[in-house]
Amino acid sequence: MQRKLDMSFEKLDLIEPILNALKTEGYTHPTPIQAISIPIILKGRDLLGCAQTGTGKTAAFAIPILQQLYLAKGNDKAPRKIKALIVTPTRELAIQIGESFTSYGCNTGLRHTVVFGGVPQNQQVHPLKMGVDILVATPGRLLDLINQGYVKLGDLSIFVLDEADRMLDMGFIHDVRKLIKLIPAKRQSLFFSATMPETIRVLASTILTDPKEVEVTPASTTAETVEQEMYFVDAENKKDLLIHVLKDKSIATALVFTRTKHGADKVQRFLEKAHIKAEAIHGNKSQNARQNALRNFKDRTTRVLVATDIAARGIDIDDLNLVINYEIPNIPETYVHRIGRTGRAGLEGKAISFCDAEEREYLKDIQKLISIRIPLVNDHPYPALNIPEDGKGKPKPKLQTPRPQNPNKPKINHTRTPVSRTTAGNASKAESGPRKVENSSRRTETAPRRTENTQKRTESMPRRTENTARRTESAPRKTEGGPKKYWGR
């Protein structure tokens, strides 16, 4: 379901305080997800929205929520109670949603606050005590504050679950289910996700009631405004290729993605050694360090920001013209989320990816998901060896030729001659069948010897009894000396 951008925000029946705020921000025409979703939400309907990152999902629910709460606002002197709750998976995304409510609702007089983990809760608790209309939160810190009694959701009327697929990937599904049991059953629910697999639809069915479904783009597609390129390179040359790409002075800012936290720090260090200003952002960084890195990147004090996938949804930067996949993601949907950081709101962007031999299977899964064969760039100084031109499949392993033998090396004969043992006992064990019958007479002859041995054993019995008596006599010494003394003897 698509709608052309042939309308302005004035045609969406928005109130003057919000229209003035949008004009101040420079927004005059809604994006497709905004043009479709805002009228549905203003009517009080539940909504299931599927739109890729960078299409304006935040404004699609923030603007109608602000208008509904503004029109329902009573006496300003009455204690404020939480009427709208927005739950999002990451701290960065929660902060940016809070900034959107600040921008769009600056003329409404509504209060909002943001709570998230990783920092002391004292500064977050104070606004809650003063009273807020809108709460933006991550699941973990929200449940903690509910258990402590700082957050009360008895008057909640609007519930928003943003980036639901990412929430599922990060393991917050159990926290979301706990939260659903704590909020009022009579409410308006809004459910947004960049992708819509079957697991997300099952989760949505437990939250929404007769929802209106909105999908402005096919599931798991990349924005048309993003130019994509693929570089085949050996893993050990990725470092040099990245530095080579960033030598282009026309690249004002670049966002580099890695799969691991250690990889992000490693990339940041070698970029600094190459005199390229870079900072890393990932889960092990403190909240202040992450916010400072984002602020420096937005202000263009830092040219390159290296991030892990945990921050892929939480980075909203205007005029970001380049995203680099230093490592190909092993989850195809993650590729869509990564390159969605550029080419936002109709602007042009570029995404390039470095693919080594081990990542070629990931590339096949990505191209299958987005139904696009990513153009291959062969003209670079670090091409990979033994890679097919079309990029299909893994390269065939090189045949290993055996090493030539040294003609001067003496040959050693390792053969062993069999050793024959003529022991009577071994011979009797090795023989079987008829020979056992022949030797039966010998066994009968040796029988008297066994009886003689038996008699000898009976003669030695008194010695054993004597030894037994000695042991009984020495028993107290064992208990006194303990095991160490016994074994020492």
What's 226-370's CATH class? alpha beta
Across the strands, what pairs with 256?
Answer: 306, 324
Q: According to the model, what pLDDT value does residue 311 have? A: 58
The rounded distance, in Å, linking the Cα atoms of 296 and 283 is 18
Across the strands, what pairs with 325?
Answer: 257, 353
As given in the structure block, the two tokens for residue 118 are 């990783």
Reduce the secondary structure of 110-160 to three states and give it as a string. CCEEEECCCCCCHHHHHHHHHCCCEEEECHHHHHHHHHHCCCCCCCCCEEE
Q: According to the model, what pLDDT value does residue 468 have? A: 47
- 3-class DSSP state for residue 218? coil
Number of Cβ within a 10 Å radius of residue 251 = 15
Across the strands, what pairs with 322?
Answer: 350
Give the C-alpha distances (Å, rounded to integers) separating 179 from 81, 185, 207, 283, 451: 18, 11, 11, 24, 87
Give the C-alpha distances (Å, rounded to integers) separating 88 from 53, 73, 140, 247, 300: 14, 25, 10, 37, 27
Q: Do residues 110 and 21 make contact, with C-beta atoms less than 8 angstroms apart?
A: no
The rounded distance, in Å, linking the Cα atoms of 480 and 489 is 14
- 3-class DSSP state for residue 249? coil
Number of Cβ within a 10 Å radius of residue 338 = 25
Q: Do residues 178 and 165 make contact, with C-beta atoms less than 8 angstroms apart?
A: no
Task: Give, for all 489 residues of the chain, the pLDDT tens digit.
Answer: 444 445 789 899 999 999 999 998 888 889 888 999 999 999 999 999 987 666 788 999 999 999 999 999 866 667 899 999 999 988 888 988 999 999 999 999 999 999 999 889 999 999 999 999 999 999 999 999 999 999 999 999 999 999 888 888 778 889 999 999 999 999 999 999 877 788 888 989 999 999 999 987 654 566 677 899 999 999 999 999 999 999 999 999 999 999 888 999 999 999 999 999 999 988 788 778 888 888 899 889 999 999 987 655 556 676 788 999 999 998 887 888 888 888 776 678 899 999 999 999 999 999 998 888 999 999 999 998 866 554 444 444 444 555 566 666 666 665 565 555 554 455 444 444 444 444 444 444 444 455 444 444 444 455 554 444 455 444 455 444 555 545 554
- pTM of the predicted protein model: 0.59
Q: Do domains 9-215 and 226-370 have the same CATH topology?
A: yes
Enumerate the domain spans of the chain: 9-215, 226-370
What are 366-375's pLDDT values in tens digits? 999 888 899 9
Any residues with CB less than 8 A from the CB of 436 and at least 6 apart, and which? none
Of the chain, the end-to-end C-alpha distance in Å amounts to 92
Q: According to the model, what pLDDT value does residue 465 have? A: 47
Any residues with CB less than 8 A from the CB of 322 and at least 6 apart, and which? 251, 253, 254, 255, 342, 349, 350, 351, 352
What's 9-215's CATH class? alpha beta
Q: According to the model, what pLDDT value does residue 38 have? A: 96
Q: Do residues 66 and 86 make contact, with C-beta atoms less than 8 angstroms apart?
A: no
